[in-house]
């Protein structure tokens, strides 16, 4: 299960006047444990920050889902509530979940959250939305391929190349066999003539 961890990073950032100034930023990573979150935030910061940085804190969040749109840099935390029936006691239970949505303003955050929840079968309510200080979200990259694995497309291409090479080899061997048969026929005709 994905757990979202909030990580506070501190590093020297160049401002508009070209002066280096210490800054603290909040980032969000999804991980399975604190150790995984620490490894992921260090890797992400090494890719994005030139120079030294420190990870000050790592803490679990109650965020259940992240809705990311590339057109904005602001993040809003939306509290969503809905009711469901408990299977054992058959009583109505109120469920609360939190969704982090990227948007330019509160209205857009509400609309994007509502749009992402359209497929829910039970009625829901977005009871609160608040702007966060989160600067960037680093979701686990599904397209990252471990060093010992190859993309399926590459494997498929290799198989096609191998099949093509096998076909060429078979045609070449068939050609050699035909030449040998032809040479044997010529040799036997020459012997007959003698």
Q: Is residue 139 part of a domain?
A: no
The predicted-structure confidence for 44-79, as pLDDT tens digits, reads as follows 999 888 889 999 999 999 999 999 988 888 999 999
In a domain? residue 56? yes
For residue 115, the domain's CATH number is 3.30.1280
Residue 27: domain span = 1-61
Rounded CA separation 134/41 (Å): 14
Q: Give domain status of residue 136, yes or no.
A: no
Of 9, 41, 61, which residue is a domain's last? 61
Residue with the bigger pLDDT between 9 and 176: it is 9
More confident residue, 159 or 140: 140
Say if 34 falls within a structural domain: yes
Mean pLDDT over 91-119 rounds to 92
Whether residue 184 sits in one domain with residue 150 = yes
The H or E element that residue 177 is part of is helix 152-193
The answer as to whether 57 is a domain residue is yes
122 and 171 together in one domain: no
In a domain, 114, yes or no: yes
153 shares a domain with 187: yes
Tokens linked to 31: 């991980």
Residues 6+ apart with CB under 8 A from 119: none
Q: pTM for the whole thing?
A: 0.67
Shared domain for 55 and 76, answered yes or no, is no
Burial of 88 (0-12, 13-18, 19+ CB in 10 A): exposed
Tell me: do 30 and 68 sit in the same domain. Answer: no
SS3 string of 75-128?
A: EEEEEEEEEEECCCCCCEEEEEEEEEEECCCHHHHHHHHHHHCCCCCCCEEEEE
Same domain, 116 and 77: yes
Same domain, 124 and 68: yes
Say yes or no: 111 and 57 in one domain. no
Q: Is residue 143 very low, low, confident or very high in pLDDT (cuts 50, 70, 90)?
A: very low
174 pLDDT higher than 90: no
Residue 161 lies in a domain: yes
Same domain, 67 and 56: no
**What average pLDDT does the chain have?**
81
Domain count, the chain: 3
């Amino acid at each position: 299960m994905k757990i979202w961890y909030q990580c506070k990073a501190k590093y020297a950032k160049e401002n508009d006047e070209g002066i280096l100034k210490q800054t603290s930023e909040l980032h969000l990573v999804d991980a399975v444990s604190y150790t995984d979150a620490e490894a992921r935030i260090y890797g992400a910061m090494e890719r994005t920050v030139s120079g030294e940085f420190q990870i000050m804190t790592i803490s679990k969040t109650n965020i259940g889902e992240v809705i990311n749109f590339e057109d904005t840099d602001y993040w809003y935390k939306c509290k969503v509530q809905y009711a469901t029936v408990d299977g054992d006691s058959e009583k109505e239970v109120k469920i609360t979940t939190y969704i982090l949505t990227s948007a330019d303003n509160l209205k857009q955050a509400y609309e994007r959250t509502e749009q992402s929840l359209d497929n829910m079968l039970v009625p829901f309510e977005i009871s609160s939305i608040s702007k966060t200080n989160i600067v960037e979200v680093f979701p686990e990259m599904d397209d990252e391929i471990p060093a010992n694995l190859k993309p399926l497309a590459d494997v498929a291409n290799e198989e096609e190349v191998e099949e093509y090479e096998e076909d060429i080899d078979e045609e070449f061997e068939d050609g050699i066999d035909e030449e040998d048969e032809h040479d044997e026929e010529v040799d036997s005709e020459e012997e007959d003539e003698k």
